Amino acid sequence: MKKIGVLALQGAVDEHIQMIESAGALAFKVKHSSDLGGLDGLVLPGGESTTMRKIMKRYDLMEPVKAFAKEGKAIFGTCAGLVLLSKEIEGGEESLGLLDATAIRNGFGRQKESFEAELTVEVFDDSPFEAVFIRAPYLIEPSDEVSVLATVENRIVAAKQANILVTAFHPELTNDNRLMKYFLEKMV
């Protein structure tokens, strides 16, 4: 059975653990670099990207997470995870630089502009995905290496590149585990 870690510093950790388990894998909380050993994949959950980055730096997790990805292990970033994984963040904040695109933080507005939308996700042939956007980011300027999986108002809200999958929305806040299953079956 696949072992997936969830970066457990801040954000929707328990919801991601439940989603991973519902998709048929074992889930583990990751708080230190030593927790990455033996994992097949890693989830960077939604939350507040600046806070998560500061905690990652304090616990010396930035370089170990980069090394994890460079070993070819899959990483799934949701919302703040998308921001942290992007090559650049508008405004020049430091990121992990693993997805060749620029993240626009709070791209759809503040908390009161949060919304839900039915998305057509390129990797699903069946029904739309009900996506929950909370102070959501989006991506711009993806390189040719980045595959766009979904857009809202012509803004990129789901993408993948090699072993990196990102969403601007929160799939863990729904009962639809198709994205997690896709991550586990196609990327891990």
Q: Which one of 88, 122, 153, 170 is the catalytic residue?
A: 170
Pairing of strands 41-44, 74-78: parallel
- If you ran DSSP here, which 8-state letter would residue 71 be given? T
Is 172 an annotated catalytic residue?
yes
Q: What angle do CA 108, 151, 143 make, to 5 degrees?
A: 100
The one catalytic residue in 21, 32, 79, 118 is 79
79 flagged as catalytic:
yes
Spatial neighbors of 55 by CB under 8 A, at least 6 apart, are 9, 10, 61
Catalytic residue among 21, 116, 145, 172: 172
Torsion of Cα atoms, 61 then 150 then 2 then 23, to 10° = 120
Dmax over CA atoms of the chain, in Å, equals 43
Rounded CA-CA distance 164/97 in Å is: 11
Active-site residues, by number, are 79, 170, 172
